[in-house]
Amino acid sequence: MHQSHKLVARLVALGTITLAACQDATQSPTAPVVPQTPQAARSPQAQARLEAIFQGASPEVMALPGTVFADNDEAAGKVVFGVENANAAIGVRQALARLGVDETDYAIEVTAPIVMMQGTTTLRSEFDPKVGGIQIHFTRYLCTLGFNATAGGVPSFITNSHCTATQGGVEGTQYYQPTSSTGEVIATEVADPVYVKGGACPKGKKCRHSDASRAAYAPGVASSLGTIARTTGANNGSLSVNGSFTLTSPSTTTNFAVGTVAQKVGRTTGWTSGQVTRSCANTSVSGSTVYLFCQTFVSDPGGATVVGGGDSGSAVFGAGTSSVQLLGILWGGSSDNKSFVFSPFAQIQQELGTLTVR
């Protein structure tokens, strides 16, 4: 007796044959075209035999790694098994041979794996606990949570002064994460020194040494000290989170050597990396009277986009993909998005007071 017929006979004896089968489309948009036999050309007996093979072989075959689907494809007149790769196909053939299924009764297709569509965690997702590099919302605007810090025992985060309702001075700006649609205020602005005039500040300007402010977390809001969200790679535009950076002791310098690697993670352009091109440069802000002393410029030698609107507040850190040194906080960039500007951590601490960041 033919091996396929033996399997059918065994399944008939067990009472597992059924003539009911799902109706397949004639052609899947992504699957290879399978030569079709007119439905009327196959007898009920032939259809029942394939259904028996499908019912009997599927449990064992689909237990193998790399299998995607099993289908009694009535249009093709075969039992079709989908696999992720050629290696998985080998295991399927071996299993079917053990079960006595003839090669003419089945087909194997390499197909893409099926995944849940619940969505990938990105820098714009809601996080618990809160970490650096993720989206925050205040008034009508979006910025980036730079890094967590403890000041006087109070859990807080650092972002830009211009990521408050009023740049300079404390007015109690409230923050949400990722947006106010959550209905939960996660933190409130508590430190943001006023900008000053006179002295070394140019006429008509108002000056500070950093574009930084501190917000204290609300009771019950969890945060992770020393953690920055990490995406899939530097300068690839991804916002998908697949790990984290851990901050080491922060830098104490205000004058970084040209060529120093400086990286950031922001809610708009993700993880970007470049090199210091200008250090301790006094910097005007276009369209405003703001003037910042001793700022650092960073660009990618290959000309990659390293910043975009909404990246304001991003923590800037040194070379590495795991443990990294905190260098400062990003607040601006060139109009072509090819370079960003940051305030050194030493100057942030000079204005906001002692901060524990790890």
**Placement of tokens 């093709």 in the chain:** 76
Q: Is the pLDDT of residue 23 over 80?
A: no
> 3-state DSSP call for residue 301?
coil
CA distance 347 to 339: 21
Q: What is the pLDDT of residues 225-248, one digit of tens each?
A: 999 999 999 999 999 999 999 999
CA distance 49 to 214: 72
Q: What is the pLDDT of residues 69-86, one digit of tens each?
A: 888 988 889 999 999 899
Pick the range with the lowest mean pLDDT from 37-46, 87-96, 256-265, 290-299.
37-46
Q: What is the CA radius of gyration of the chain?
A: 30
**Placement of tokens 């947006």 in the chain:** 179
Q: What is the pLDDT of residues 162-217, one digit of tens each?
A: 999 999 999 999 999 999 999 999 999 999 999 999 999 999 999 999 999 999 99
Strand order through the sheet with 174-175: 147-151, 154-159, 213-217, 187-191, 174-175
Predicted model pTM:
0.70
Burial category of 41 from C-beta neighbours within 10 Å (exposed 0-12, middle 13-18, buried 19 and up): exposed
Integer angstrom CA distances of residue 302 from 76, 263, 342: 52, 14, 20
Name the nearest CA neighbour of 156 among 239, 204, 217.
217
Phi, psi torsion values for 237, nearest 5 degrees: 80, 0
Residue 105, C-beta contacts closer than 8 angstroms, at least 6 positions apart: 4, 50, 53, 78, 79
Q: Is the pLDDT of residue 36 over 60?
A: no
Q: Is the pLDDT of residue 328 over 90?
A: yes
Which DSSP category does 202 fall into? P
DSSP codes, 139-172: TTEEEE--EEEEETTEEEEEE-GGGSSSSSS---
What confidence score (pLDDT) does residue 76 get?
Answer: 87
Pick 289 or 74 by higher pLDDT.
289
Task: Walk me through the domains of the chain, giving residue ranges and CATH numbers.
Answer: 3-19+43-110 (3.30.300.50), 130-352 (2.40.10.10)
Q: Is the pLDDT of residue 315 over 80?
A: yes
Q: What is the pLDDT of residues 99-151, one digit of tens each?
A: 999 999 999 999 877 654 445 799 999 999 999 999 999 999 999 999 999 99
Which DSSP category does 263 fall into? E
Contact 304, 291 (CB under 8 A): no
Beta bridge partners of 143: 136
